[in-house]
Each structure stands twice: as C-alpha cells, then as structure tokens.
Structure 1
C-alpha cells in the first residue's frame, strides 16, 4: 500500500470512528482495508506519545463496536502528525477488522468465538490486593485494611494511603534490622513506597522482602516474581535487588525485573539511569543503558544487553497487556497469573504467536475473543480453566 493510500485509509478511519463517514466512504474504507497487509507494520513511528494514542484508538474502536456514540478526539493531538497512518490499523486492527466485516462474515466469526458454558461464572480480572507480613509473623490483609496507620515496626510507621503502602521513618533507627515482606497472590498487584522514598510496583504472584529502615551503607531488597522500581537517588548508599542468583546494583534509576519461576529466564529491563546486573555463581556482569534488557538463564548464564520496547515490558504498570508477536504460551502465562486461571493446551502449534494491546480490566471472555479473531487459536473456558487449541 502506498503512502497516499495509507493517509487516505487513516482519514477515512477517522471519519468512520467519528460516525461521519458516508456510505460511499465506508465502502472505500472497506476496500482499502482489504488491500492492507502485515507488511505495513514497518511504517509505525515510535514516538513518546504513541502508547497513549494507541490506547485511545483502541478504546474508541471498542466504543464503536459496542454501539456507543462517544467520540474520543485523539486526532487533535499534535502527536498524531508524527505517527504513521498505518499505526491506526496495526494497533487496533483486530477490532477494526471485526467491525468492517459483512454481516455474514461476522456471524461466521461469532460462531468461532471463545466457547463458554451457559452456567459459567464470571472470571474477573485482577485488582489491587496483597498481604503484608511483619517481623513478628503477623499477616495484614491489605485488601480489607482501611486508610491510615497500619502498624509500627521499630521507629518506622507503616501507612496505607491512596491504595499503596508507605514506610515513613519518624526518626533515626536504632541499628536493628527489621524485615517486612509484601506479597501479591494470583490476580493481585500492589504499590509500595520504601523508607528511602523509592517506589515499587509488584505484579501478580510476586513478593518483596525489605528492611523497614535502611540503616547501613547499602539499601538491599529481595524480589520474587515481577517488580518495577523507581529508586530514589543516593550516591553514597547504593540500592541492590537480589533475585535468586542475580544481583542488580543501582544508584537511582527506573527498571523492571521479571523473575517468575515458570519463565525461562530472569529479565532486567532499564528505562532510566544505569544498572549493573551480576550473577553470583558465574561472576558474570553487564551494565545496562536505557532501553536495554539482559536475561539470566536458569543455569545462571548472562546474556548480552539487547534493545527492547520498554513500553511493552512495563505495560502491566499502566493497566495493559502488550504483546508484540509473543509466543502463545508466554501470553497465556501472563493471563493465568492475572486472572487466576489454569491453562491447558491441546494440539497447539509451538510456533503460534499473537500481538496486540488490551486492557487488563477486560472481561476474560472478551480478551480471549480479541486474540481468537486475530490469530490461529481457539479458546474454551471451563470454570477457571482455559483450553487452548488450534483453529479448525
């Protein structure tokens, strides 16, 4: 498809979303869309506003499909002029593809939607929930805790405020090291502000062990699962994150660590600043630059830093699933952790890949429908189990 045709396609799509396209323009849009192929993915521009724009486009398309009249004025943003026209179709292609089908084809697609028993109970997405284990073994359920002072550990007040836990040292510590642990279940996530002001976001099935006051020459925490960190700068007191055999050293930076036991490797991704990733057993190390990622295999082998799309890596902190030609089993592991479901595979191709940006607040049936329309897989929901199979 030529650039003028891409521009025309985007202009017609804008009118279509706004509900002002004539019958002739809708027919032209349909014809242009039929000419579009996956080759146009190469023209997407990577701007700092792209993710925000994509989310608005996705929501606008969903509103149109659901018959709502709401119009999102995303084309008024200056960023739109910097985004290639084809990005509209690439990012929201699944939904637009479905909406532009003939009625007969829509019925055919509907017949292939995720199968759900008539008595199926809703499978809800995850939410903010976690438990906090104090040094004496007391466990506080943060779901049911009210706002305000939760507890005091040493000279540090633990405060529940605005859906996150804040550790507030009210005076210099006595030197005694007291540890707390915050843990999220399947279908849970939580935010935490450490005693030094560093911020941590925990994904589902994760935990962070940390001292209630950083009294020594270093700041050290221990992570399982996945966490995103925004570390307060302190050049005289470096910050360390320990994950199994891996140690990440920082001074002040933004980074994500994914370290689930069921994944093939521990992945550290840097968004801002600098970090040094070291394996304790093999004594390998790598210094990351912003936009880079390293992996540590189960045998503690450290990869070379590679460039990655950081918005994809930290999409979970923004309430989204973001997959870019990801392996189906990688996708389903994320879905399983967030929706607290089991996954069973039946004759699924090992090379099956899917992509897209979808809200983590979606009903699981709708989420699976998006992927089913877009890819070569079929989903069946039975209670809290998802059966994944190839399409016939």
Structure 2
C-alpha cells in the first residue's frame, strides 16, 4: 500500500480499510488484523479512523441519492490538491474533507461500483469472529393448514401446495399465493413467522404485499372469500394492500386493535414489549379501531397509538422515513431513549440486553445500516457516549459511560 498510515486520514483514503470497516471483505479483515499485530504503535490512528468512519456512516444514512454530489465534492478537492501553491494547512483540510466524502461515496456506492469483484455489503462473507454477532437475514417459518412447519430462506425456491389446491411459490425471500383455481369451501389458514433476527415478504392471494420485520407473525387465509379480507398480526409489518372496495381489508392485532383498510400503504408495530401499538399511514386511508370501540381515521403521515396501559387512542404526526426505515434496510433514530434503541437492536440481532446498573438517561439520533455487524452498530452508538460490550449473545450497556 502507498500510504504510510500515520494519521486517521491515511486509513480513510484506503479502499481496503473501507471494506474492512464495512465488513464486506474477508481478505481485508485478515490483512488489517495482521497489520495491526505488526504495527501496534499505529493503533491510536487506526482506532480514530474507525471512529470517523462510524460517525460519517451513521450520520449519512441512506446515501444512494447523494453519490453524484459527493463525487463532485471529491473531484473539487482533488483539484485543490494538485495546486502547487497550496499551503500545508490547506492540504490537511483537503485530506480530511476528501476522506469524509470518499467514505460517504463508498458506503452508498460500494455495491454499485464493485458488483463484479466484491460481495454485496448487505451479505457479510464470513461468520462474525470473537465477540461479534452477524445481522439478521431473510428467514421465516411457514405453518400450513395441517400443522406442517416449513423452514424458509432466500435460497430455497421449491414451491408448496395446500390441500385446497392453493399453490405457494417461494422465490428470492418471498412467498406468493395463487388461489386462482381454488374452489374449496373450507377456509384454510397459514401462519408465517419471522424469528428474532429474521425478515420475510409475502404476497397474499389478493395480491396485497406484506413485509414482515423480525420477531413477527402473520396469520392469513389461503384465499379471501366472503365480504371482507382479514389477517392477524403480532409484531411489525408493512402492508401494501390491493384495493377491492367491495371486500375491505382488515388487520387485527393481539391486543384488540383493528385496522380497516381501503387500498393503502401503512405500517403496524404491535410488539408485546412496546408500551403501545402504533399504526402509521403512508398513503390512502385507514380507520383504527380499539377493542372498546373507539376509532380514528388517519390521513397520510399520521400515527394512531393505542396505549397498552390505559387503552387510550391518540393520533399524532408521523415521521414516515423513520417508521418505515426498517423496510429499507436501516435503523433510524430521532432522540430515542436507549431502551427504545436497544429493543430494536435486540430483535434484529437476536440478542439479549442487560444494563450494568440503572437504565442511563441517554438518547440517540442517527442512522445505522441493518446489515452492519453488531459491533459496527455499537461503535456508532458509542459516538453518542453510550458504552457497550458484547458477551456471547448478550449486550451489556455500561451505565458509567
């Protein structure tokens, strides 16, 4: 390598180091582990480079739309570097800014620029080593009408068939239901369950699409008959409902909330360890009905929150990008307390969370890629002054930080 790696910026301008930080290259990981062993005096600069990468990566979030802009910024700084009259101080500023711009481009565009030579950043190439945990993946379990349980992942594509003739297709991490030739009278229900650390998508018999987050389950019929379409949700899912005015769509949750739909996109978060069940409308129109009959009709960018404690139903403005970030491969936090943050991480990485003392009054704002390893995600949180350590499949939150 050409750089001397004396300061953090030297690392940040190196492609291999960026791949190491993103966890996408086994060879890069081996190289830098060996390099650090041979150059222990460089550890402080190396650690600082990792910290800068985490801050930039966390703050930038989804960067696909910014790639061209950052390319221009980097080009401008390259031109500055070539100016022979540039002063040393100006050169140092260029190196820092160029490094940050290059990181932003690398995070957003690595997959785009290197598909032929590098694995996708969403798919780490090796199992996590030591005290680290890999991110969740595309996996679920389908329970058929007769109780048969079928394990699902994104690689198995062999179809299934229910006893009523419904054909169930499996392709690229999603299920599809084809009940076109189904004339059976009996209504058969299937249940799709994503474990902690899993996600999956299902296209229902009417063409409605459901994206399921980790630790969730959806019970639904293999065909919709009668005057309405009803499914049952535990956990979190995003719904894109096929419009059928004569056959309205309903989602029911375990605590008695019912969402009435007429062709729309919305998110329901109904985890039992959360203090409320939240329905957030992205487009269209929904009516949210509580178990005692209270109801509200939502407009786009509104959330209905049903308290598990007192059953109160409230409506508030919603941050759509934050609510649906999980579906786009991101965690989005906006002044969220540490307990809220850790519940999301615990579901996705399938870990337990332990506090070494009273729950600290810490809040976090920022973005984290869901395909980061657990240690990468925690490094980003550490920039907000939150201390952690990983012990097996447990995160210990250090209240002294």
**Fold agreement, TM-score > 0.5:** yes
Alpha-carbon distance in structure 2 between the residues aligned to 1:240 and 1:119: 45
Q: Which residue of 2 is the match for residue 353 of structure 1?
A: 363
Alpha-carbon distance in structure 1 between the residues aligned to 2:110 and 2:326: 26
RMSD: 3.1
Q: Which residue of 2 is the match for residue 236 of structure 1?
A: 246
Could you say if the C-alpha distance between residues 128 and 316 of structure 1 is closer, same or farther in structure 2, counting changes exceeding 3 Å?
A: same
The alpha-carbon deviation at position 304 of structure 1 amounts to: 2.7
Alpha-carbon distance in structure 2 between the residues aligned to 1:325 and 1:265: 18
The alpha-carbon deviation at position 356 of structure 1 amounts to: 1.0
Q: How does 1:1-392 map to 2 (within 5 A)?
A: 15=73, 20=78, 22=81, 24-25=89-90, 60-61=102-103, 120-143=130-153, 146-244=156-254, 245-280=256-291, 282-299=292-309, 301-347=311-357, 350-373=360-383, 375-392=384-401
Which stretch of structure 1 is more off in the superposition, 295-304 or 264-273? 295-304
Alpha-carbon distance in structure 1 between the residues aligned to 2:166 and 2:111: 49
Could you say if the C-alpha distance between residues 26 and 303 of structure 1 is closer, same or farther in structure 2, counting changes exceeding 3 Å?
A: farther
Find the residue that maps to 1:226 and give its secondary structure.
strand
Alpha-carbon distance in structure 1 between the residues aligned to 2:330 and 2:382: 18
TM-score (norm 2): 0.70
Alpha-carbon distance in structure 1 between the residues aligned to 2:228 and 2:180: 20
Find the residue that maps to 1:322 and give its secondary structure.
strand
Contact 2:132–2:390 (CA under 8 A) maintained in structure 1: no
Could you say if the C-alpha distance between residues 237 and 70 of structure 1 is closer, same or farther in structure 2, counting changes exceeding 3 Å?
A: closer
Which 4+ stretches in 1 moved above 6 angstroms?
A: 11-14, 68-73
Alpha-carbon distance in structure 1 between the residues aligned to 2:286 and 2:178: 26
Unaligned runs of 5+ in 1: 1-10, 34-56, 74-117
The alpha-carbon deviation at position 119 of structure 1 amounts to: 7.5
Alpha-carbon distance in structure 2 between the residues aligned to 1:71 and 1:249: 40
Could you say if the C-alpha distance between residues 69 and 258 of structure 1 is closer, same or farther in structure 2, counting changes exceeding 3 Å?
A: closer
Alpha-carbon distance in structure 2 between the residues aligned to 1:226 and 1:59: 35
Alpha-carbon distance in structure 2 between the residues aligned to 1:184 and 1:59: 37
Unaligned runs of 5+ in 2: 1-68, 82-87, 114-127
Alpha-carbon distance in structure 1 between the residues aligned to 2:338 and 2:185: 49
Contact 1:155–1:170 (CA under 8 A) maintained in structure 2: no
1:252-275 CA-partner distances (Å, limit 9, x unpaired): 100000011101100000000000
Find the residue that maps to 1:236 and give its secondary structure.
coil
